[in-house]
Amino acid sequence: MKMNKFAFPALIGMLFFSCEKNELNQEALDGGITIITQSRGATLGYSKNSGVKILDINGLQFKDLNQNNQLDDYEDWRLSFDERAKDLASKLSVEQIAGLMLYSSHQSIPAAPGGFGAGTYGGKPLPESGMSSFSLSDQQKKFLKEDNLRHVLITRVESPETAARWNNEAQAFVEGLGMGIPANNSSDPRHGPVARTEYNAGAGGTISMWPESLGLASTFDPELVERFGEVAAIEYRALGLTTALSPQIDLGTEPRWNRLKGTFGEDPTLSADMARAYVDGFQTSKNNYETSNGWGYHSVNAMVKHWPGGGPEEGGRDGHFAYGKFAVYPGNNFKDHLLPFTQGAFKLSGKTKSATAVMPYYTISYGQDRKNQLNTANAFNEYLITDLLRGEYGFDGVVCTDWGVTGNEGPQPEVFMGKPWGMEEKTIEERHYQVLMAGADQFGGNNDIKPVLAAYQMGVNEHGEDWMRERFEKSAVRLLRNIFQAGLFENPYLNPEETKSIVGKPEFMDEGYEAQLKSIVLLKNKNSILPLKEKTKVFIPEKYIPSTTNWWGIKSEEKWVDAINLAIASKYFELVDNADEAEVALVFISNPESGTGYDPEDREKGGTGYVPISLQYGPYKAEYARSESLAAGDPVIAPDINNRTYKDKSITASNYKELQTLLDTKKKMGNKPVITIIETGNPMIFGEFEKETHGILLHFGVQDQAILDILSGKKEPSALLPVQMPADMKTVELQKEDVPHDMDVHIDESGNSYDFAFGLNWSGTIEDERVRKYRKM
């Protein structure tokens, strides 16, 4: 494969230089960007509008980023990353280091005219401004220039080309500021499949589509996950992204947690293997693309999350909100939650050796502070960050808080605002200071430099100027090292035409689709009903979408929709309008959705607000729940609530009608077979319906077409369950939030146990090397 000489930033470490002449070649990109390639050195990219000049040192070319007409160590690509980072950190002002410590709020390209993440262009919404969609917004210019921010979280982009052009605009803008520090742009996972998109072999797309993390785990194939990381990193770099806010390697030991879908499941060994593979794939450049110690043109820094494991949320309630602030350890199993980090992401097989960044979760790891016995959120906790992560496990990369931990919480537990758990009564400035004293380096979701400077002054007052300056420089070195590793100081610019040809190219789309096929689990195949014959007469009832309320309190309307893309389905089967005409019914449903574990209406009626999270569709009464919660405490917004129990309270899933659809369809079909296809992000109770269906396919988010390829026999299922499927809600209530593999599992009418590592193929139960390696005996 031919290496493009300017589509990706080049990173050249220590090189052996002969006496040969350094051959130079110069290319021009749109926007006044010049790319210089040299036969004996790094490829350089710079904007003619930034004021940066090129220095010629004995025939070698270097960028004069601080425009002082001399070569500083940090500008010298022949030196090591650490040498350059330490030199630059020593030259930065306190204000410049404080800016490095900021990590922006979510930025879409272009910015929306209103709502979350809104932005303006010349004081106007983009459509009224006359500016291009890849222009910097007013807000972006402010935080880049006035707040010295250099770490930007990118969400939605109009197109790959727009992303590349925006990257060039941003990099040219910051190149002319101060020391010329480039922007380190990042992304949350962005390769999830769009269900109704048709897959055509050899066709491209906007980005390759792969299984969600729990789907990747269901392949039980670390090599596949490493390949995903490699492909995703290439596409990230073509979009101008050099840090991945992933993987999420929390152990999914609490089956009700709504973020379990983003994990690699509940098993420590599988999760560690997947974490290692994922990070190796993202960070490692191979062959001609490698430039130094595994880093190179295809490398993306991986920020693993969430230290020290956000999975054991009490009752399944999530830490984005006050009602879910506590992670609990009734099984005294804190150690297992560290393994995906310590045995996975921090022990890579590749040359980069370790993930370069870590994000602690919002939660208070209740009772786990062995030093100060403080129940504060992980990012505020000195024991968890300095003593454990950095001390015992030797991690010297970036520690960045999750988004909004230093902000003020909302007036009620269900309001989505700041998440300062354990520090609710402190000021925003005091929270910033505590993050630094705990040993972290960066503030996720904060565009404002002022509280960081206030924290610096608090440190000066307590420890003296020299001590606090040294503390700031220590974080600066870590933050700068990741920018140097990505090669951005040499060339942060992209060729938009190259970006268009790389992101979502046919080969990557093909690989992603094949991975989706490998992530679909066959749980039941009574009388070998599957695969179905071509042009089988099939009835597909509509799917119910319940009314939901998002994080900002906005409610959607319930509706009925086509269960899948019927145009695609019609290429596989003969679709009929009713059960009478059908030979087989295909019922598509989602896992039960019963809310967040907190109900404001219960609070308004005089209750505590705490209610069950159910994994079944039908009515559920929590008679086996704890009488006393393991943790509680809301000193500002709910000081009267000292027990978060929901014992004997009842709830019914908001999508209960999906179960009714299945049962009604079975009744209409009589003795004719019904196949159930379930999309889930959590374990669920199968006892409500399993006997009413001949076949069950389970997936964690794939394209409709992948399901049809399995149903029709074009592909054989090979995936395995990455989590247990509980027998009932009693076992869910009695399991311990921090312990894997501790539930009684569902046993179907064929005698199969829906346990971790179970799955079927056309021949029966899968018993292969993957099962023998990972199954718990």
Q: DSSP class of residue 182?
A: P
Identify residue 191 by its one-letter amino acid code. Answer: H
522 contacts 710 by C-beta, under 8 angstroms = yes
What tokens were used for 297?
């043109």
- Res. 137: pLDDT tops 60: yes
Identify residue 226 by its one-letter amino acid code. Answer: E
The confidence band for 664, taking pLDDT boundaries of 50, 70 and 90, is: very high
pLDDT in tens, 571-625: 999 999 999 999 999 999 999 999 999 999 999 999 999 999 999 999 999 999 9
Residues 676 and 105: their CA atoms lie apart, in Å, by 40
What's the pLDDT score for residue 204?
Answer: 64
Identify residue 17 by its one-letter amino acid code. Answer: F
Query: Distances in Å between the alpha carbon of 495 and those of 39, 153, 164, 301, 610?
Result: 20, 21, 7, 21, 53
Across 404-430, average pLDDT: 97
Asked if omega into 211 is within 30° of 0 (cis), the reply is no
pLDDT in tens, 708-758: 999 999 999 999 999 999 999 999 999 999 999 999 999 999 999 999 999
Query: Distances in Å between the alpha carbon of 278 and those of 164, 206, 223, 348?
Result: 24, 22, 9, 10
Contacts of 676 by beta carbon, 8 Å cutoff, 6+ apart = 587, 589, 662, 689, 693, 695, 696, 697
- What is residue 240's three-state secondary structure? coil
CA dihedral sign of residues 67, 70, 74, 79 = positive
Q: Which residue has the tokens 């993390």?
A: 213
Contacts of 764 by beta carbon, 8 Å cutoff, 6+ apart = none
Residues 31 and 180: their CA atoms lie apart, in Å, by 18
137 contacts 120 by C-beta, under 8 angstroms = yes
What's the pLDDT score for residue 117?
Answer: 81
The confidence band for 6, taking pLDDT boundaries of 50, 70 and 90, is: very low
Write down the pTM of the prediction: 0.96
Query: Distances in Å between the alpha carbon of 290 and those of 12, 26, 85, 231, 353?
Result: 9, 22, 20, 15, 14
Q: In whole numbers, what is the pLDDT of the chain averaged over residues?
A: 95
- Res. 332: pLDDT tops 70: yes
Residues 547 and 295: their CA atoms lie apart, in Å, by 47
Contacts of 506 by beta carbon, 8 Å cutoff, 6+ apart = 201, 202, 203, 204
What's the pLDDT score for residue 198?
Answer: 77
Give which of 614, 641, 615, 613 is closest to 628, Cα–Cα: 641
Buried b (16+ CB within 10 A) or exposed e, 539-568: bbbebbbbeeeeeeeeeeeeeeeebbbeeb
**H-type alpha helices, 3-105:** 81-91, 94-100
Question: What are the backbone angles phi and psi of residue 33, rounded to the nearest 5°?
Answer: -95, 135
The confidence band for 203, taking pLDDT boundaries of 50, 70 and 90, is: low
pLDDT in tens, 490-544: 999 999 999 999 999 999 999 999 999 999 999 999 999 999 999 999 999 999 9
pLDDT in tens, 371-398: 999 999 999 999 999 999 999 999 999 9
pLDDT in tens, 146-179: 999 999 999 999 999 999 999 999 999 999 999 9
Residues 522, 524, 526, 528: what is their CA dihedral angle, to the nearest 10 degrees? 10
Task: Write out 249-275 in H/E/C secondary structure.
Answer: CCCCCCCCCCCHHHCCCCCHHHHHHHH
Contacts of 768 by beta carbon, 8 Å cutoff, 6+ apart = none
DSSP per-residue codes, 725-748 = -BSSHHHHHHS-TT-SS-S-B-B-
